[in-house]
Chains A and B, each alone.
Chain A
Amino acid sequence: MSNKFLKNILLLLIVFLFFGTVNSLAAVKSVADTLAVTQAEHISTPSLFMVLPFVILLLMIATGPLFYKHFWERHYPKISIVLGAFVVIYYLAILKNDHILMHTFAEYISFIALLGSLFVASGGILIKVDKESTPMLNVIFLLFGAVISNIIGTTGASMLLIRPFIKMNRERLRPYHIIFFIFIVSNVGGALTPIGDPPLFLGYLSGVPFFWVIDNVWFIWIPALLMILFVFYIFDKLNKTEYEKIEYSNKIEFKGLKNLGYLVIIILAVFIDPVVIPWVPKLPFGLPFGIREIIMFGVIYLSYKGADTEILKANEFDFEPIKEVAYLFIGIFATMVPALELIAHEANVLGDKLNAGVFYWATGSLSAVLDNTPTYMNFLSAAMGKYSLLVTEKAQVAHFVSVDQIYLQAISVAAVFFGAITYIGNGPNFMVKSISERAGIKMPSFFTYMIKYSIVILIPIYAIIWLIFFYGKG
C-alpha cells in the first residue's frame, strides 16, 4: 500500500475522529445512540444549492475516466474531498447538524471496511481452471458466480472468478464473455444479500434486516438471472471461433486457502453489530466504528501481509481500485446528505403519485449512469418520505420495512440490476474491464457497451421483470 495513500486516509480519519470525539463528548452521545434522536433535530432542511456538490461529483465520476482520463486520475482524490468538505462545513457551520454527519461517517467506515476486506482477501486467492469451455460449462460457471457473489460480494466474486473465466475461454474468448460476466457476477447475481452489492449493504447499515433481501427478492432474482443466462447461452452457442485443439488437464487448482478463511471471518463479522446482537459492546468515546470494522481492517492487514507473493503477482494485485473507491465514496457519502434529506422531503409532498413502477425505473435509470449506492439511498429516502419517515434513523427504516415491502423490493432490485447497464453503474464493472484489458482483451467503449449489449439485452429483461412484479403496484 502506498505511503501517500495511507497518510491521506489516516489524515481523513483523524479529522473525522476529532469532529466525532469532540461532538460526542459534548453531547455525551455515541453514534449508536442516534436511534434515540428525534425528528426535532432535523427541522432545518438544506438549501437546494447544496445538492450541487453531489451532482458535480457524480457527473465527474461518470465523465472523468472517459473524457479527461489523465486529469481525473491525478486529481480525483482532491476533487472528492473538497466537494465533500464543502457539505460538511455547511452542515457544521450553517445547519449546526453534526449528528447526521457522524451517522454518515460511521456508515462510510463500515462500507469501506467491508469492500476493502473483501477486495484484499480475495486478491490473495488464485483459482486455476484448466478445462475446455463449452456454452453449458460457462453457464454453470456464471451461475456459480452469481450465487457466490451473495456470499463474498460482487467485488470479491468478480476478483476471484474473472481470471479463471478468461483462462477457460482463452481460445474462443470474445468481449461478450466479459460483458455477460459483468451482467451476472458483478451485478445481478449479488441481489440476494446485503453482502452481495454495496447499496444493499448500505440498506442493511441503515436498518433493513439482513435476511429481508433474500426473503423478498429471490423470486425476482431467479427469472432475471435465468433470462440473462439463456441469452448468454445463445451467444456462446453461436460462437464458432476456430482454434487449435490443446490438451487440458481438466484440473481445478485453488491456491490461497488461508484467505478463504479470512473471507469467512469477514462474512461472520458483518453480523457483529450491537443492533443485530445485543451483547456486542459499543466502543467508547462515540467512535464512528465498532468491533466489526476493527475485525475487517485487521483482515485487510493480515491477509495482505500473509498473502503468498506468487499469488499476488499472478493476480497483479494493486491497491489502486480500492483506493479509488475509498476516495470517491468519502465524497459521495458526504455530498449525498443534503440530496437524501431533500428527496425525502419532496417524496412526502408528492405522496401517492409515486408508485412501485416509478421507483423501479427511476432507481434503475439513475443506478445505470450514477453509482447505484447513493441512488439506492436517495430512493429509499424518497419511499420513506411518503410515510414521513427518515432514512437516517435505523428504527424508522425498520418500521418502514414492516409497513410496505413493494417499494423497497423495487428499489433493491433496480439498484442492483441496473448497475450492469454501464461500466460506471457498479464498482466491480470497471475492475473487471480493467483486469480484462490488462490481460490484453480489447473491451468495447463506454457507449458501445451500452448500445450493443446492455440496452439491447438487459432492458427487455428488466421490462419483463417490471411487468410481472411492479406494474400497477404500490
Chain B
Amino acid sequence: MNTIKEALDKKSDGLCYGNRVILPFKASFLKVIIEDDIITDFSTSSKGIYIREDENYTDLYFLEIKDLKESITKYENIKMVVVEKGDDIFNIDNHKKIALYIGEKHNVKIEKTDDDILFIE
C-alpha cells in the first residue's frame, strides 16, 4: 500500500468510474473541493461524499454527481487537502494539497498542486 508521498513520487494514477474515484493510497481527508462545492463533512451522513477505505486503496463516492467524467472537464480538477495516515494531523506542515484530473479510459492523474493552481486551505 502506497503512502501519498510514494504515490506522488511514482506518479501513480487513480481510477474513475461514474461518481467513484479510486485513489492508490490511504489518507486522512480534511477538505475536498469539487466544482464549487467545498466538502468538509466526511462523516457517514455527509451529503457530498462517502469515503471507503480498502486495504490497498481509498474509494471516494461523490454523492451529488452522476458522472465525474462529464462534470469535470479537461482543465478542471478536484482539489483536496490530505494528511498521511499516522502523521500528526494538527501540524499544518503535514497538510498536503493535491489535485485530481479526470482523464480518458477511467484514468485519474494525481498531482501535487503547484503555485499556478489557486488553492486556499
Residue of A nearest to B36 (CB): A437
CB-CB under 8 A from A437, the residues of chain B are 33, 36-38
CB-CB under 8 A from A434, the residues of chain B are 35-36
Q: Which residues of chain A from 306 to 357 have a CB within 8 Å of any chain B CB?
A: 309-310, 312-320
B109: shortest Cβ distance to chain A, in Å? 11
B 85-110 to A, binary, CB cutoff 8 A, 1 in contact else 0: 00000000000000000000000000
Instruction: Kindly specify which of B5-13, B50-58, B112-120 makes contact with the partner chain.
Output: B112-120
Q: By the criterion CB–CB under 8 Å, are B118 and A167 in contact?
A: yes
Residue of B nearest to A69 (CB): B64
Q: By the criterion CB–CB under 8 Å, are A438 and B73 in contact?
A: no
Residue of B nearest to A164 (CB): B118
Chain B, interface residues (CB within 8 Å), range: 20 to 34
Q: By the criterion CB–CB under 8 Å, are A126 and B38 in contact?
A: no
Q: By the criterion CB–CB under 8 Å, are B36 and A440 in contact?
A: no
A213: shortest Cβ distance to chain B, in Å? 33
B15: shortest Cβ distance to chain A, in Å? 21
Q: By the criterion CB–CB under 8 Å, are A316 and B77 in contact?
A: yes
| Number of interchain pairs (Cβ within 8 Å) | 58
A241: shortest Cβ distance to chain B, in Å? 13
Q: Which of A173, A317, A438 contacts B36 (CB 8 A)?
A: A438
The answer, yes or no, to whether A163 is at the interface (CB within 8 Å) is yes
The answer, yes or no, to whether A170 is at the interface (CB within 8 Å) is yes
Size of the A side of the interface (Cβ < 8 Å), in residues, is: 29
Q: By the criterion CB–CB under 8 Å, are A316 and B120 in contact?
A: no
Interface centre among B74, B75, B121 (most CB of A within 10 A): B75
Q: By the criterion CB–CB under 8 Å, are A442 and B38 in contact?
A: yes
Complex: A130 Cα to B74 Cα, angstroms? 27
Complex: A70 Cα to B64 Cα, angstroms? 8
Residue of A nearest to B111 (CB): A313
Q: By the criterion CB–CB under 8 Å, are A312 and B64 in contact?
A: no
- List 9 extra interface pairs beyond A128-B116, A440-B120, A442-B38, CB under 8 A: A312-B75, A316-B75, A318-B73, A318-B75, A434-B35, A437-B33, A437-B37, A437-B38, A439-B120
Residues of B within 8 A of A (CB): 31, 33, 35-38, 64, 73-77, 79, 115-121
